[in-house]
Amino acid sequence: MRNWIAKSWPVGIPVIAAIVLALSFGRHDLGTFVVVVVAVVLAGTVLAAVHHAEVVAHRVGEPFGSLVLAVAVTVIEVALIIALSSSGGAKAETLARDTVFSAVMITMNGLVGLAILIGTLRHNTVRFNQEGASAATMTVAALAVLTLVLPTFTTGTDDSSFTGAQLVFVALASLALYVLFVFTQTVHHRDFFLPVGRSGGVLEESEDAHAARPTGRATLTSLGLLLLALVAVVGLAKVESPAIEAGVAAVGFPPSFVGVVIALLILLPEGIAASKAAARNRIQTSLNLAMGSAMASIGLTIPSIAVASLFMPGTLLLGLGPSQIVLLALTIVAAVLTVLPGRATRLQGGVHLVIFAAFIVLSVSP
């Protein structure tokens, strides 16, 4: 029975989501029961989407697999941002900034810290590829500063936004950095992003395999269900957007916390995958997932939102506030010091988790 459920839910959830979307899309004043059902189906569809992305990822292997997962998560993120922003809710103009910043904090502190802590609790000291981790950290830092810090200090506008020319440049620069990193990760220096053993040597894919590779038919099936799930996520997010904003307001949290909710929702499966990899002493895979998601969250989301902003009302505000800039700077410094030695202990994991806790506290009580 358990095996049947385990095999059936990834197939059934996207289909159920498509049916729920067809029945609820365009309807106003949905009842509480319907809102709860849509929320549960939406969360399940996100999990199903990432499950199918993992199947495709396992077929293509590392580091391509982490790339597939990051892109799938980013598609979901962009869909949720556009759906909530187009609803015209409170602070819609800063939703992209809040979501992207939250994704960076969650991945670079929450996921990295949790992965290191899990790995070190089981294996005392964890090792990873210093070259790959350093390259990823540098790229995330450049992307974050260019897109989230720079607009706070530009003088072309009166608020924390870019001028049209500046936004075009930053969008193209973000995309270029992401593409350059992808080529580095998958073509030119692929060995920098493979897991390493206890001695520090790179593990071959055959050594790192923990399950049989899916067949070509299974991979194509998962690819089709992944596309169906992504379409369902876009539509259900649009249906659920008023309830998300109302829920955040009801508990007394600031409107910017909506971005945290979105980021937590889409990154939950990534956190599970990164934790499982860490438990198997594959910290490099965990770092690939975490930093790859942070990178895609900026390098793909910002250009997409920049294009979408041409068709949406309001101004796209990307500049962070002072406390957020301090947290980002602290995150970058901690990440650099963590990856430079090529190994980590419980201390590094604890530091990242404390920074993540500070981010949550300041998000709830700015």
Collapse the DSSP code of 91 into the 3-class scheme (helix H, G, I; strand E, B; otherwise coil) and give the result.
coil
The pLDDT value given to residue 1: 55
Tokens for 129, please give them: 């590829």
Beta-bridge mates of residue 202: 196
Domain boundaries, the chain: 2-364
**Residue 203 reports pLDDT greater than 70:** no
| pTM as predicted | 0.81
pLDDT tier at 110 (50, 70, 90 boundaries)? very high
Residue 208 to residue 222: CA distance in whole angstroms: 22
Is residue 244 within a helix (H) or strand (E), and if so which, with residue range? helix 216-250
**Residue 259 reports pLDDT greater than 70:** yes
pLDDT tier at 212 (50, 70, 90 boundaries)? low
**Residue 209 reports pLDDT greater than 50:** no
Is pLDDT larger for residue 137 or for residue 236?
A: 137
Residue 235 to residue 45: CA distance in whole angstroms: 11
- 3-state SS, 8-45, equals HHHHHHHHHHHHHHHHHCCCCCCCHHHHHHHHHHHHHH
The pLDDT value given to residue 91: 62
The pLDDT value given to residue 359: 95
Residue 203 to residue 144: CA distance in whole angstroms: 31
Tokens for 41, please give them: 């189906």
Query: What percent of the chain is modeled with pLDDT above 70?
Result: 86
Q: Rounded to an integer, what is the distance from CA 152 to the centroid of its chain?
A: 23
The pLDDT value given to residue 65: 63
Is pLDDT larger for residue 311 or for residue 171?
A: 171
| Mean predicted confidence (pLDDT) in 77-82 | 74
Residue 232 to residue 224: CA distance in whole angstroms: 13
| Mean predicted confidence (pLDDT) in 218-237 | 82
**Residue 23 reports pLDDT greater than 70:** yes
**Residue 289 reports pLDDT greater than 60:** yes
pLDDT per position as a tens digit, 293-317: 888 888 888 888 888 877 776 778 8
The pLDDT value given to residue 206: 40
Which region among 71-85, 98-112, 150-164, 198-212 has the lowest average model confidence (pLDDT)? 198-212
Residues contacting residue 14 through CB under 8 Å, at least 6 positions apart: 45, 48, 49, 225, 228, 229, 232
pLDDT per position as a tens digit, 115-162: 999 999 988 889 998 998 999 999 999 999 999 999 999 888 878 788
pLDDT tier at 3 (50, 70, 90 boundaries)? low
CA atoms within 13 A on the CB side of 49: 31
Q: What is the average pLDDT score of the chain?
A: 82
**Residue 62 reports pLDDT greater than 60:** no
Whether CATH 3.90.1170.50 fits 2-364: no
pLDDT per position as a tens digit, 313-344: 677 888 999 999 999 999 999 999 999 999 99
Query: What percent of the chain is modeled with pLDDT above 90?
Result: 26
